[in-house]
Protein backbone atom coordinates (compact mmCIF):
# COMPACT_ATOMS: atom_id res chain seq x y z
CA UNK A 1 0.00 0.00 0.00
CA UNK A 2 2.81 2.42 0.84
CA UNK A 3 4.58 1.58 -2.41
CA UNK A 4 1.46 2.35 -4.41
CA UNK A 5 0.85 5.54 -2.46
CA UNK A 6 4.40 6.71 -3.00
CA UNK A 7 4.08 6.10 -6.72
CA UNK A 8 0.87 8.11 -6.81
CA UNK A 9 2.51 10.96 -4.93
CA UNK A 10 5.36 10.95 -7.41
CA UNK A 11 2.91 11.19 -10.30
CA UNK A 12 0.98 14.02 -8.68
CA UNK A 13 4.17 15.84 -7.81
CA UNK A 14 5.35 15.59 -11.39
CA UNK A 15 2.07 17.01 -12.63
CA UNK A 16 2.31 19.85 -10.15
CA UNK A 17 5.80 20.75 -11.30
CA UNK A 18 4.64 20.56 -14.89
CA UNK A 19 1.98 23.08 -13.99
CA UNK A 20 4.48 25.41 -12.38
CA UNK A 21 3.62 24.48 -8.82
CA UNK A 22 6.36 23.73 -6.31
CA UNK A 23 5.31 21.00 -3.92
CA UNK A 24 6.71 21.62 -0.48
CA UNK A 25 4.99 19.01 1.64
CA UNK A 26 3.05 15.80 1.38
CA UNK A 27 -0.17 15.34 3.32
CA UNK A 28 -1.90 11.98 3.47
CA UNK A 29 -5.38 11.16 4.66
CA UNK A 30 -5.51 7.54 5.72
CA UNK A 31 -8.13 5.10 6.89
CA UNK A 32 -7.83 4.11 10.50
CA UNK A 33 -6.89 5.91 13.68
CA UNK A 34 -3.74 7.83 12.86
CA UNK A 35 -1.32 9.30 15.36
CA UNK A 36 -0.99 12.75 13.82
CA UNK A 37 2.36 13.31 15.51
CA UNK A 38 4.11 10.12 14.48
CA UNK A 39 2.05 9.34 11.40
CA UNK A 40 1.58 5.74 12.54
CA UNK A 41 -1.66 3.80 12.20
CA UNK A 42 -2.79 3.20 15.76
CA UNK A 43 -5.66 0.94 14.79
CA UNK A 44 -7.70 0.10 11.73
CA UNK A 45 -10.48 -2.18 10.58
CA UNK A 46 -9.97 -4.97 8.09
CA UNK A 47 -10.97 -2.69 5.24
CA UNK A 48 -7.22 -2.62 4.59
CA UNK A 49 -5.76 -5.86 5.85
CA UNK A 50 -2.65 -5.40 7.98
CA UNK A 51 -2.91 -1.62 7.96
CA UNK A 52 -2.81 -1.25 11.74
CA UNK A 53 0.73 -0.55 12.91
CA UNK A 54 1.90 0.84 9.58
CA UNK A 55 4.28 3.79 9.85
CA UNK A 56 2.71 5.91 7.12
CA UNK A 57 4.76 9.06 7.53
CA UNK A 58 8.19 7.50 7.84
CA UNK A 59 7.39 4.82 5.29
CA UNK A 60 6.44 7.37 2.67
CA UNK A 61 9.30 9.68 3.57
CA UNK A 62 11.76 6.85 2.98
CA UNK A 63 10.22 5.97 -0.35
CA UNK A 64 10.16 9.59 -1.48
CA UNK A 65 13.62 10.44 -0.16
CA UNK A 66 12.17 13.16 2.01
CA UNK A 67 12.73 14.16 5.62
CA UNK A 68 9.86 12.90 7.77
CA UNK A 69 9.02 16.50 8.62
CA UNK A 70 7.88 17.00 5.03
CA UNK A 71 5.27 14.28 5.24
CA UNK A 72 2.24 14.24 7.49
CA UNK A 73 -0.54 11.70 7.82
CA UNK A 74 -3.88 12.08 9.53
CA UNK A 75 -7.13 10.18 9.49
CA UNK A 76 -8.85 10.53 6.14
CA UNK A 77 -11.99 12.14 7.51
CA UNK A 78 -9.93 14.54 9.58
CA UNK A 79 -8.10 15.46 6.39
CA UNK A 80 -11.35 15.80 4.49
CA UNK A 81 -12.85 18.10 7.10
CA UNK A 82 -9.69 20.18 7.21
CA UNK A 83 -9.78 20.58 3.45
CA UNK A 84 -13.40 21.64 3.50
CA UNK A 85 -12.71 24.13 6.27
CA UNK A 86 -9.71 25.46 4.42
CA UNK A 87 -11.08 25.89 0.94
CA UNK A 88 -14.28 23.91 0.58
CA UNK A 89 -17.84 23.89 1.81
CA UNK A 90 -16.96 25.23 5.25
CA UNK A 91 -14.45 27.83 4.09
CA UNK A 92 -14.71 31.02 6.04
CA UNK A 93 -16.35 29.45 9.06
CA UNK A 94 -14.66 29.26 12.43
CA UNK A 95 -16.16 25.89 13.28
CA UNK A 96 -17.54 23.05 11.23
CA UNK A 97 -18.63 19.47 11.68
CA UNK A 98 -18.25 16.99 8.85
CA UNK A 99 -19.81 13.55 9.01
CA UNK A 100 -18.90 11.01 6.36
CA UNK A 101 -21.02 7.95 5.69
CA UNK A 102 -19.34 5.27 3.67
CA UNK A 103 -17.75 1.95 4.49
CA UNK A 104 -17.78 3.32 8.03
CA UNK A 105 -19.13 6.44 9.66
CA UNK A 106 -16.48 9.01 10.35
CA UNK A 107 -16.52 12.60 11.39
CA UNK A 108 -14.42 15.55 12.33
CA UNK A 109 -14.99 18.80 14.15
CA UNK A 110 -12.78 21.62 12.93
CA UNK A 111 -12.31 24.60 15.19
CA UNK A 112 -10.38 27.68 14.15
CA UNK A 113 -8.80 25.84 11.25
CA UNK A 114 -7.64 22.77 13.14
CA UNK A 115 -9.40 19.42 13.41
CA UNK A 116 -10.03 18.51 17.03
CA UNK A 117 -8.13 15.23 17.28
CA UNK A 118 -8.70 14.48 20.93
CA UNK A 119 -6.36 12.82 23.40
CA UNK A 120 -5.98 9.62 21.37
CA UNK A 121 -6.46 11.05 17.88
CA UNK A 122 -9.94 9.60 17.54
CA UNK A 123 -11.91 12.82 17.90
CA UNK A 124 -15.02 12.96 15.77
CA UNK A 125 -15.56 9.25 15.29
CA UNK A 126 -19.30 9.58 15.10
CA UNK A 127 -19.70 6.00 14.02
CA UNK A 128 -19.00 4.70 17.47
CA UNK A 129 -21.57 6.85 19.15
CA UNK A 130 -24.11 4.68 20.98
CA UNK A 131 -27.47 4.62 19.25
CA UNK A 132 -30.80 3.28 20.51
CA UNK A 133 -31.60 2.44 16.89
CA UNK A 134 -28.68 0.04 16.51
CA UNK A 135 -30.61 -2.87 18.01
CA UNK A 136 -32.28 -5.92 16.56
CA UNK A 137 -34.76 -7.90 18.58
CA UNK A 138 -33.58 -6.18 21.69
CA UNK A 139 -29.94 -7.03 21.12
CA UNK A 140 -27.34 -4.46 20.12
CA UNK A 141 -25.90 -4.82 16.65
CA UNK A 142 -22.24 -5.73 16.53
CA UNK A 143 -19.97 -2.96 15.32
CA UNK A 144 -16.76 -3.48 13.36
CA UNK A 145 -14.87 -1.84 16.20
CA UNK A 146 -15.73 -4.76 18.44
CA UNK A 147 -18.31 -2.83 20.37
CA UNK A 148 -22.04 -3.00 19.88
CA UNK A 149 -25.03 -0.73 19.49
CA UNK A 150 -23.06 1.89 17.58
CA UNK A 151 -24.24 4.18 14.79
CA UNK A 152 -21.86 2.55 12.34
CA UNK A 153 -23.50 -0.82 12.93
CA UNK A 154 -26.71 0.45 11.36
CA UNK A 155 -25.84 3.50 9.24
CA UNK A 156 -22.68 2.55 7.35
CA UNK A 157 -22.93 1.45 3.74
CA UNK A 158 -22.16 -2.20 4.49
CA UNK A 159 -24.60 -2.20 7.39
CA UNK A 160 -27.37 -0.83 5.16
CA UNK A 161 -26.60 -3.37 2.45
CA UNK A 162 -26.52 -6.22 4.96
CA UNK A 163 -29.84 -5.21 6.51
CA UNK A 164 -31.47 -4.87 3.11
CA UNK A 165 -30.44 -8.31 2.01
CA UNK A 166 -31.26 -9.89 5.36
CA UNK A 167 -34.81 -8.54 5.09
CA UNK A 168 -35.21 -10.16 1.71
CA UNK A 169 -34.03 -7.47 -0.64
CA UNK A 170 -31.78 -8.29 -3.54
CA UNK A 171 -29.34 -5.46 -3.90
CA UNK A 172 -28.24 -5.13 -7.52
CA UNK A 173 -25.02 -3.37 -6.59
CA UNK A 174 -22.21 -3.93 -4.12
CA UNK A 175 -22.87 -0.90 -1.97
CA UNK A 176 -25.66 1.10 -0.41
CA UNK A 177 -26.00 3.55 -3.27
CA UNK A 178 -28.19 1.12 -5.13
CA UNK A 179 -30.39 0.76 -2.07
CA UNK A 180 -30.90 4.51 -1.89
CA UNK A 181 -31.90 4.42 -5.53
CA UNK A 182 -34.37 1.64 -4.79
CA UNK A 183 -35.82 3.65 -1.93
CA UNK A 184 -36.31 6.60 -4.22
CA UNK A 185 -38.40 4.35 -6.43
CA UNK A 186 -40.55 3.14 -3.56
CA UNK A 187 -38.91 -0.15 -2.61
CA UNK A 188 -40.47 -0.85 0.79
CA UNK A 189 -37.53 -2.75 2.24
CA UNK A 190 -35.08 -0.13 1.10
CA UNK A 191 -37.18 2.61 2.64
CA UNK A 192 -37.40 0.72 5.90
CA UNK A 193 -33.67 0.11 6.14
CA UNK A 194 -32.67 3.62 5.16
CA UNK A 195 -35.19 5.11 7.53
CA UNK A 196 -33.58 3.27 10.42
CA UNK A 197 -30.11 4.29 9.33
CA UNK A 198 -31.18 7.88 8.87
CA UNK A 199 -32.83 7.97 12.28
CA UNK A 200 -29.66 6.70 13.95
CA UNK A 201 -27.50 9.09 11.97
CA UNK A 202 -29.74 12.04 12.55
CA UNK A 203 -29.93 11.50 16.27
CA UNK A 204 -26.18 11.15 16.60
CA UNK A 205 -25.33 14.13 14.43
CA UNK A 206 -28.04 16.23 16.00
CA UNK A 207 -26.66 15.45 19.43
CA UNK A 208 -23.19 16.46 18.35
CA UNK A 209 -24.49 19.64 16.80
CA UNK A 210 -26.12 20.56 20.07
CA UNK A 211 -22.91 19.87 21.97
CA UNK A 212 -20.49 21.56 19.58
CA UNK A 213 -22.71 24.22 18.02
CA UNK A 214 -20.76 24.31 14.76
CA UNK A 215 -21.27 27.10 12.31
CA UNK A 216 -21.53 24.58 9.50
CA UNK A 217 -22.52 20.92 9.60
CA UNK A 218 -22.70 18.75 6.59
CA UNK A 219 -22.30 15.38 5.02
CA UNK A 220 -20.18 15.26 1.89
CA UNK A 221 -21.84 14.72 -1.45
CA UNK A 222 -20.07 11.42 -1.84
CA UNK A 223 -21.64 10.00 1.26
CA UNK A 224 -24.18 7.27 1.01
CA UNK A 225 -26.42 9.11 3.44
CA UNK A 226 -28.38 11.90 1.79
CA UNK A 227 -27.18 15.32 2.73
CA UNK A 228 -29.64 17.15 4.95
CA UNK A 229 -32.15 19.23 3.05
CA UNK A 230 -30.49 18.22 -0.19
CA UNK A 231 -28.14 21.12 -0.05
CA UNK A 232 -25.25 19.59 1.78
CA UNK A 233 -25.48 21.81 4.81
CA UNK A 234 -27.63 22.72 7.65
CA UNK A 235 -26.77 25.34 10.15
CA UNK A 236 -26.54 24.78 13.81
CA UNK A 237 -28.51 22.96 16.44
CA UNK A 238 -32.15 23.52 17.05
CA UNK A 239 -35.08 22.29 19.03
CA UNK A 240 -38.77 21.77 18.40
CA UNK A 241 -39.49 25.43 18.98
CA UNK A 242 -36.71 26.68 16.83
CA UNK A 243 -37.22 28.22 13.44
CA UNK A 244 -34.07 26.51 12.32
CA UNK A 245 -34.24 23.18 10.53
CA UNK A 246 -34.18 20.07 12.62
CA UNK A 247 -30.74 18.56 13.04
CA UNK A 248 -31.97 15.10 12.21
CA UNK A 249 -31.59 13.34 8.91
CA UNK A 250 -34.86 11.69 9.80
CA UNK A 251 -36.67 14.98 9.46
CA UNK A 252 -34.70 15.99 6.44
CA UNK A 253 -35.72 12.89 4.56
CA UNK A 254 -39.42 13.66 4.82
CA UNK A 255 -41.49 13.03 2.87
CA UNK A 256 -39.17 10.88 0.85
CA UNK A 257 -39.11 8.16 3.45
CA UNK A 258 -41.12 7.59 6.54
CA UNK A 259 -39.03 6.69 9.57
CA UNK A 260 -39.93 3.21 10.69
CA UNK A 261 -36.91 1.52 12.24
CA UNK A 262 -36.65 -2.07 11.16
CA UNK A 263 -34.74 -3.01 14.27
CA UNK A 264 -36.31 -3.58 17.62
CA UNK A 265 -37.84 -0.63 19.34
CA UNK A 266 -35.32 1.92 20.45
CA UNK A 267 -33.92 1.09 23.84
CA UNK A 268 -35.99 2.17 26.79
CA UNK A 269 -33.84 5.12 27.57
CA UNK A 270 -33.28 7.81 24.99
CA UNK A 271 -29.64 6.84 24.90
CA UNK A 272 -28.27 3.57 26.10
CA UNK A 273 -25.10 4.84 27.52
CA UNK A 274 -23.85 6.11 27.62
CA UNK A 275 0.58 17.46 13.88
CA UNK A 276 3.13 17.80 14.08
CA UNK A 277 4.25 21.46 13.79
CA UNK A 278 5.90 22.44 10.60
CA UNK A 279 9.65 22.58 10.57
CA UNK A 280 12.13 23.66 8.05
CA UNK A 281 11.75 21.40 5.12
CA UNK A 282 12.79 20.86 1.59
CA UNK A 283 10.45 20.95 -1.34
CA UNK A 284 9.42 17.56 -2.59
CA UNK A 285 12.11 16.77 -5.12
CA UNK A 286 11.17 16.42 -8.70
CA UNK A 287 11.32 12.78 -9.58
CA UNK A 288 13.50 11.74 -12.49
Closest to 206 measured CA to CA, from 266, 270, 149: 270
Which one of 11-19, 145-153, 209-217, 280-288 is the stretch in contact with Zn ion (CB under 5 A)?
A: 145-153
d(CA 180, CA 248): 18
Q: In the set 145, 184, 264, 271, which binds Zn ion (CB under 5 A)?
A: 145
For residue 150, state whether it binds Zn ion (rule: CB under 5 A).
yes
What minimum distance in Å lies between the beta carbon of 4 and Zn ion?
A: 28
For residue 147, state whether it binds Zn ion (rule: CB under 5 A).
yes
> Nearer Cβ to Zn ion, position 66 or 153?
153
What minimum distance in Å lies between the beta carbon of 155 and Zn ion?
A: 11
For residue 44, state whether it binds Zn ion (rule: CB under 5 A).
no
Number of other residues whose CB lies within 10 A of the CB of residue 213 = 12
Paired with 75 in beta bridges are: 30
d(CA 125, CA 108): 7
For residue 2, state whether it binds Zn ion (rule: CB under 5 A).
no
> Nearer Cβ to Zn ion, position 111 or 145?
145
For residue 272, state whether it binds Zn ion (rule: CB under 5 A).
no
Q: In the set 41, 98, 134, 143, which binds Zn ion (CB under 5 A)?
A: 143
Strands 95-101, 216-218: parallel, antiparallel or unpaired by DSSP?
A: parallel
Residues 6+ apart with CB under 8 A from 52: 32, 41, 42, 43, 44
232 within 8 A of 248, measured Cβ to Cβ: no
What minimum distance in Å lies between the beta carbon of 152 and Zn ion?
A: 5
Amino acid sequence: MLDATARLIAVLTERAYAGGITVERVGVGSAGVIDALSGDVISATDAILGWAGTAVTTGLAERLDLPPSSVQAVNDVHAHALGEAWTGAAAGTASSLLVAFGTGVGGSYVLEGRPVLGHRHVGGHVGHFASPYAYRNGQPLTCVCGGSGHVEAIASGPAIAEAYQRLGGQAPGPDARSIFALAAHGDAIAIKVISAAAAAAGQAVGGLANILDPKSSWSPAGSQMPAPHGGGRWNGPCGPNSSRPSPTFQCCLQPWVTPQPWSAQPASSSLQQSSSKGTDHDPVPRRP
